[in-house]
Copies of this chain bind each other. A is one copy, B any other.
Amino acid sequence: MEKILAELLTIGDEILYGQIVDTNSQWMSVELDKVGFKVIRKTTVGDVESEILTALAEAEKRADIILITGGLGPTSDDLTKPLLAKYFNCELKINEEALQEVTEFFKSRGRELTEVNRQQAALPTACEKIANPNGTAPGMWFEKNDKVFMAMPGVPHEMKKMMTDSVIPRLKKTFDTPVIYHKMIRTIGLGESFLAEKISGWEKALPDHIKLAYLPGLGEVKLRLTSFGDSNEKLEQEVNDLTEKLKSHIGPFIFGYGEDSIEMVIGKTLREKKLTLSVAESCTGGYLSHLITSVPGSSDYFLGSMIPYSYEIKMQQLGVKPETLEKYGAVSEHTISEMASVVRARFNADIGVATSGIAGPGGATPDKPVGTVWIAYSDKYQTVTKKLQLSKDRMINIRMASVAVLNLIRLSLPGS
C-alpha cells in the first residue's frame, strides 16, 4: 500500500536564528507516523515572502499533505495568512464565526478586542476555518488537486490541541488511511543492545504487518509496536498477545505502557498499597525528590526528604552513626544502608530510600572514581543496596542514579 506523504513547513525567523528550539515538528512527526502518514521532509524558512511562497510550491510538488506552523500572529512580520491568500489566489475576509470566537476569548479574560485582534479573524476565503480552542489565531484547511494544506499557530499547546481534535481525525477521513494500532512498552534497567539480544528471537518472529522500534532514553528504553490492518480489535488482540510473549523474555524490565513514567508507576502502586515514602538523597541533590513530586497528587504517599549534602548533616540531622561514616566513608554500602533505614524511621514512613556517590567532576578517589554511586531501599522486611558505576558527566549521573532508585522501589516493594 502506498503511503500518504506529508511535509512540515515551519515559518519564523526566531527558529532560523536559533532563538527557540522547534519542538513542534518532532511532536507532529510522531502523531502523523502513528496514523500511518509518512513525513518525507521538514523545512524551516524565515519571515520572508519569496522564501515562503517558494517553499509552498516545492512542498506541493512532493507531498500529499502540507502542514504549516507559525507566522499566524497579529503583527506585521506574521506573513503566513496573506501569503496563503496569495498562493490560493483569494482574498482575506473577516470570518464571522472566527470573529465571534476571538471576541469570546478576549471577553472570558476580561479584555477588550482591539483592531489588531479583530484582524485575527480575517481568513483567506479559499480555506475552511479550524477552531483554535487554546488561542486566538484560527487554523486554516485548504484543498487543491487532492492535496491538503493546513496552517496552524506555532504556539505548541495551541497547535497540539488543534492537531489532536481536528486535523488528525480529518486527515484520516480525507485519505482513508489503514487502521493502525500502537503499543508503547516501557522498560528500565537494561541497555538497548542487551535488550535487543534478549528479544531477538521474538523480534524475528514478528509478522510483516507489525513493526518494532527502539526508543532509548537516559536510563530507560521504550519499545514501540506498530501494527497495520483492517480491524482495530484484531490488531489490539494480536499486539497484546505479542506483548504477553515478550514478557516471558524481559518481564522484570517492563515497568509500564504508553505515557507511564517510572515515577507515575511507583506513585500509583504506593497509593494503592497505602504505603508512604521518605528519601535521604546526597549525590542526587534533590533530583530524586523532584521526580517523585513532579507527579500531581504525590503528597498522598510522599512524606518528605532529607538532603544531607555535608558530612555533618548526615550525622547531626539525618542521624547516620559517626562510626559508620568514619569507618566506611559516605560512599559505601554500610552508610547507604543506614541512610535508608534511618530516614524511614525518622520520618515514620513505610519505605526509605537513599543515594550517596560521586556525581563529579570533583570528589573522586582512586577506589571511588566519578560515577560511583550507592543506592538503597529499606522497608520493615528488608534493606536492599546496590552499587552503580555510571558516567563522567554530573548531570547524567544525577539523572541515572535517581531513575535507578525509582526502579529499585518498583522491584523491592512488598508483594511485588
Contact = CB atoms under 8 A, between A and B. Distances in A.
Contact of A44 (B30, B42, B347): B42
Nearest to A277: B309
A28 interface: yes
Interface stretch (A117-125, A283-291, A331-339): A283-291
A41 B43 contact: yes
Contacts of A360: 296
Contact of A40 (B46, B287, B296): B46
Nearest to A303: B310
- The binding surface of chain A is classed by DSSP as mixed
Interface stretch (A19-27, A91-99, A160-168, A403-411): A19-27
Contacts of A289: 285-286, 289, 307
A40 B45 contact: yes
A394 B294 contact: yes
B313 A309 contact: no
A284 B88 CA distance: 51
Interface in A293-320: 293-294, 296-299, 302-310, 312-313, 316-317
A313 B347 contact: yes
B307 A313 contact: no
A375 interface: no
Given A16-B39, A39-B17, A293 B286 contact: yes
Q: Count this chain's copies in the assembly.
A: 2
A361 interface: yes
A190 interface: no
A395 interface: yes
A312 B25 CA distance: 46
A398 interface: yes
A29 interface: yes
Given A42-B42, A297-B362, 15 more contacts: A16-B40, A20-B26, A21-B21, A21-B23, A22-B22, A22-B26, A286-B287, A286-B288, A286-B291, A296-B361, A298-B309, A304-B307, A306-B317, A316-B348, A317-B346
Interface of A: 15-23, 25-30, 33, 39-46, 48, 51, 55, 58, 213, 215, 279, 281, 285-294, 296-299, 302-310, 312-313, 316-317, 346-348, 359-363, 394-395, 398
